[in-house]
Structure 1
Amino acid sequence: MQSRMMEQLVTLDKRYGRPDLFITFTCNPSWCEIKYLLLPGQQPSDQHDLTARVFKQKLIRFMDLITKNHIYGETRCWMYSIEWQKSGLPHAHILIWLVEKIVPTQIDDIITAELPNAEEDPELFEIVKKNMIHGPCGGHNPHSPCMKDGKCTKKYPRQLLQETQTGGDGYSLYRRRKPDDGGYTTTIKINNVDFEVDNRWIVPYSPILSKSFNAHINVESCNSVKSIKYICKYVNKGSDMAIFGIANPNEPVNEIEQFQMGRYNSSNEAVWRILGFDIHERFPAVMHLSVHHNAPQRVADPPNTTLTAFFQLCATDEFAKTLMYHEVPQFYTWNQSTKKFCRRKRGARHSSIAGIFSTGALGRVYTVHPNNGECYYLRMLLHVVKEPTSFQAIKTIDGQECETYREACFKLGLLENDQRWDNTLAEASETRHAHQIRTLFAIILTTCAPSDPKGLWEKHKESMSEDILLRARRNNLGLDVQYSEDIFNEALISLEDVCMSINNKILNQLGLFSSERDRNDVIDRDALREKQYDVDALQVYVETQKRFLTNDQRLAYDTIMRSRPYIYIHIYTK
């Protein structure tokens, strides 16, 4: 499910660019709708079905307020996924794309990270005070859940700023005024001690949403494509996973048999699933389109797929001939029973062609790994060739049928450089972790023979080194650690290790820079594995087992030992 969600998110990003808002909407167990229905003496944790139902209704109204009432403007598309905290409370991670993009000057009108004026709006002040104050943590509360190695993982308290700024990594730095510059403060209790809170501790929120739903609602502005990298990972990361073992203390430990792996489901999540509530929703629909070869054994009667149905459509429908494969779902629906595309009968009318209707539905051709040879090149052709009526037609260039799809791509100028690998790494850098990007680059280096590996490295080395930079920052708290040659060198070492595990080649053999480390550290894994033996133990084994050889085995053994005597000598002369 996570991979399908990721495909949908990438499709929306590719079509409409970065989302405008990233919202986290958390269930509030103190909602009056929940408390009103509790039995005497009960707590919200005693009625998980009640919590789930109320949050579901609140979420529906929440989405209607944004997508139908257009409180931030007309909405182009949206998606959300539901997760559960360790305490069991559900929360939704929501992405919103607006027709009119939010510009930096509008951020303060939508999002604030300051305490409101208690006299002008006492209701909002109490809501923010109760739901939108982080911690406080740090030295005031070192046992706060956000603390790690003596530092807040959420980077609170934040810096006080007079004006909203755009951060260097694509995240906004919201206005947080000092008390003597127009900011406000309040007092809360921590461990029965009064603590004065200023704007450094306020989680960004939208006043209209906070007042409407009285809950923890974190609203962030996505002002850069780079900022959605975190969002892609966070929205699609899936449930928590637990690894555990079951063992009988009276029996010998067998790690293989006792190993179990599963996912942690809280009671509230279990109720949510039992009630059949959606865990993920989005608009518009994203239709996945198949891509495959027409294998020889299926030529006589191939099963109709969206791809072969597209070929048939191009042969019979004049309008379809003007469309690319991924554009078809916008104007046609897929009939699952007949396995055919049918023109839409509802939607927006075409401006010049009668009988043509369109919707916001998008098409996403299934991802094909570069190792999958011809299928990968076929997918490339489907994004540039119009009016294909067969597998042969799609690789026919200037009236001449090419032998392979790769040849057709080359004739169209699609394979003149490493642009495909550049696009692959660029897409991965927006949605994947650094170690996954390194693995992808290692696969490209070892199996796909890029023409300029050094150029690809220079362009994407920061994305491939991000986890190493973060680890260096954690290990050197208080220092301004930035990308450096040492960071990139460690990434090269990690990359080389992956390449070695794939085809036992070091980086300079693959056209890339060599990592700076002692040559003894570059381990030939195959040679090392072959040397892991005990000569004396093997000789004893041979001498004790020779008597069990059959006549044919004895003949083969004697022949080998007579023809290759140095093998036998090597056993004794280690």
Structure 2
Amino acid sequence: MFDNYNQFTKVFRMARDRVKESDLRKVHIRLIGNRGRDARQYNMRTTSEVAALIVSDLSETNVERDVIVEHRSDGLQRISDLNPSFMAMQYPILFPYGEDGYHLGIPYKCNKGRRQMKRHCVTMREYYAYRIQQRESESQTIIRGGSLFQQFLVDAFTAIEEERLPWIRNIQPQLRADLYKGLRDAVVRGDTTPSSVGRRIILPSSFTGSPRYMVQNYQDAMAICRWAENPDLFITFTANPKWHEIQKFVDQIPLQKPTDRPDIESRVFKIKLDQLMRDLIKLQHFGRVIAAVYTIEFQKRGLPHTHILLWLHQSDKYPTSSKIDKIISAEIPDETSDYTAYAAVAEYMMHGPCGAANNKAPCMNGGNYCSKKFPKFFYTETTLSEGRFPIYRRRDNDRFVQKGEIKLDNRYVAPHNVDLIVKYQSHINIEWCNRSRAIKYLFKYINKGPDRTTMIVEEDISRNRGNDNREIQRIDEIKSYLDCRYVSACEACWRIFQFDIQHRTPAIERMAFHLPDEQCITFRDSEPINQVLNKEDVETTMFTQWMHTNSVEEGAQNLTFAEFPTKFVYNKKDKMWQQRKKGKCIGRIVYAHPSSGERFYLRMLLNIVKGPRSYEEIEQSTV
């Protein structure tokens, strides 16, 4: 069939012949796991999924991919991933007729009802998001690919990321940034070419998953913590491949398993997550929620999960042990009186068996102790430890769950809320954290960044010499230890569908602060410096407009700079503050540029100064 209908078959046969004729060294990649099984970002995967290892950080290196073929007369030819034939050559079984893949210039379908957009052509992300959908009227070759479909997904996502980075690095106009004062001094010195001043902007915090992106989200979470004090509940919600919604959809294709469809697993998990957040915030399952933060993770376990932090209203907190017991349980429900709850806890919230009962469990560190510190001890009531960590009630009431030949009692139960696990039929771990010393750790934990793995490249130099058939010992030479991004198929689908990996409410306004004439200015390489300085409103910033608004709005004079977004909205286009009509927002002051006096002024702005109309009034207020 390939010989008759696929135009790339002969190309592959030539490549095969080339490999057979050449004396090529055998090189392979081996994953190493000497960091321990639970080394967070660098642990080994625990499922047989197909994933991509991206060498080095995408934020630092221009990672390029290509397919190189040797033409009989023209020599080596490189096939770019933007070439329509790239995916057909990479995945001939998924594209059996050599169909075109993504290429530049694919127009949107003409639709009179579609809102007008500046862009008229399909992006690479939109193309792959369209191709991996299941439609009754179209061929299902790609989504029936099994493990090859997973490889196609991670390959498509990495191709998308690699095309975004050159746009940031090369295609966008060459931008520079410098202080207003610095540009003014450059003009005085006679430097009028932009290439002589400023610093380049390479990878902004708006690039999802970049180091700056993670740091900014961590700082935003800490800003919410400063505004609403410590969070009350820490929730971990994990996807369940046995959800009937997933199974019902997968059953439409015979012999297909949920693991064959990471796209469906990701989409159903997003639906469940949205519903869970609605239950927590709008329906007030635990009471009135004033703030919430969550992040999505795709560890090497094959399924996505999320970490959620909730801040409750002052009147709906749970400061005592008896009130904590009303929302969090670490016990097995009674099988006779509430079998539904018993079955849910037995299925999703039991840890183990581990410890002496099973020293080969995945949670056992070298067979010595459980990394999750199970089994716990029996306690008659909930208490708080010296570090203000909750010790949940686990009574010795003879209730147990049978796991094989081992009986698991209340010491093996993960803290949970019965109503939530019954409704969502999934692992939902809930921890009370209001008075814990680990608040900063929680914020860093949920913003730690993507998973990675460690690998080494080994060369097999086993050779036979003469008539000696003894194999020379293989030398495991470590070529390089590479910090590799680990991209699973579920994460690839999540990002291709453009689902958020970070969420927070209320919104955060990042408010740039600067000293006089030290605001940061962005300009193009082609713009003369004196022309940049003569632009209209070049001296106008969010901070200077705050002082101007204080002089014309009476209500503004009772707010500090950080409190200003609660009552006003900054219009970036017109560079002015306007009265807030709806919504909730809090401010977070960020440094516009490092300087010796900023820390002093920043402390004054946060704690003392309200309604200043100039820098002079700020200085007078600090006396």
The answer to whether the aligner puts 1:155 opposite 2:366 as a matched pair is no
Q: Secondary structure, in 3 states, of the residue corresponding to 2:596? A: helix
CA distance in 2, matches of 1:226, 1:153: 20
Structure 1: gaps (5+ residues): 347-358, 398-407, 412-574
Matches within 5 A, 1:30-429: 30-38=242-250, 39-99=253-313, 100-104=316-320, 105-149=322-366, 150-179=368-397, 183-189=398-404, 194-244=405-455, 260-295=482-517, 302-346=538-582, 359-366=583-590, 372-383=595-606, 384-397=608-621, 408=622, 411=623
Cα pair 1:77 1:283 within 8 Å, conserved: yes
**What amino acid is the match of 2:311?**
W
Cα pair 1:172 1:223 within 8 Å, conserved: no
CA distance in 1, matches of 2:255, 2:294: 35
Q: CA deviation at 1:10?
A: 1.3
The alignment's C-alpha RMSD in Å is 2.5
- Cα pair distance change 1:203/1:91, threshold 3 Å: same
Cα pair 2:299 2:451 within 8 Å, conserved: no
CA distance in 1, matches of 2:458, 2:615: 56
CA distance in 2, matches of 1:199, 1:90: 27
CA distance in 2, matches of 1:392, 1:243: 55
CA distance in 1, matches of 2:272, 2:409: 30
Q: Secondary structure, in 3 states, of the residue corresponding to 1:269? A: helix
Matches within 5 A, 1:369-518: 372-383=595-606, 384-397=608-621, 408=622, 411=623
CA distance in 2, matches of 1:230, 1:30: 32
Cα pair 2:456 2:478 within 8 Å, conserved: no
Deviates more, 1:224-233 or 1:89-98: 224-233
Cα pair 1:27 1:91 within 8 Å, conserved: yes
Deviates more, 1:26-35 or 1:230-239: 230-239
Q: Secondary structure, in 3 states, of the residue corresponding to 2:563? A: helix
CA distance in 2, matches of 1:372, 1:340: 26
CA distance in 2, matches of 1:178, 1:367: 55
CA distance in 1, matches of 2:312, 2:373: 29
CA distance in 1, matches of 2:283, 2:341: 21
- Please report the TM-score for the alignment, with normalisation by the length of structure 2: 0.57
Matches within 5 A, 1:2-17: 2-17=214-229
Cα pair 1:314 1:387 within 8 Å, conserved: yes
CA distance in 1, matches of 2:504, 2:438: 20
Q: Sequence identity, in percent?
A: 35
Counting matched residue pairs gives 376
**What amino acid is the match of 1:87?**
R
Q: CA deviation at 1:247?
A: 7.2
**What amino acid is the match of 2:324?**
I
User: Which position in structure 2 is the counterpart of 1:351?
Assistant: none
CA distance in 2, matches of 1:259, 1:338: 50
- Please report the TM-score for the alignment, with normalisation by the length of structure 1: 0.62
**What amino acid is the match of 2:560?**
M
**What amino acid is the match of 2:545?**
A
Q: Secondary structure, in 3 states, of the residue corresponding to 2:293? A: strand
Cα pair 2:513 2:590 within 8 Å, conserved: yes
User: Which position in structure 1 is the counterpart of 2:235?
Assistant: 23
User: CA deviation digits over 1:63-121, x for unaligned, max 9?
Assistant: 11111111211111111111013122011101111112112221111111011111111
CA distance in 2, matches of 1:136, 1:334: 56
Cα pair 2:294 2:307 within 8 Å, conserved: yes
CA distance in 2, matches of 1:241, 1:248: 23
- Cα pair distance change 1:368/1:309, threshold 3 Å: closer
Q: CA deviation at 1:269?
A: 0.4
Q: Secondary structure, in 3 states, of the residue corresponding to 2:516? A: coil
- Cα pair distance change 1:304/1:115, threshold 3 Å: same
Q: CA deviation at 1:185?
A: 1.2
User: CA deviation digits over 1:227-265, x for unaligned, max 9?
Assistant: 423322221212222344557778xx9x99966433211
Q: CA deviation at 1:40?
A: 2.2
**What amino acid is the match of 2:384?**
T
Q: CA deviation at 1:19?
A: 1.2
Structure whose CA Rg is larger: 1
Cα pair 2:377 2:394 within 8 Å, conserved: yes
- Cα pair distance change 1:367/1:337, threshold 3 Å: closer
User: CA deviation digits over 1:268-295, x for unaligned, max 9?
Assistant: 0011000000011111111111011233
Cα pair 1:368 1:376 within 8 Å, conserved: no
CA distance in 2, matches of 1:122, 1:323: 55
Q: CA deviation at 1:360?
A: 3.1
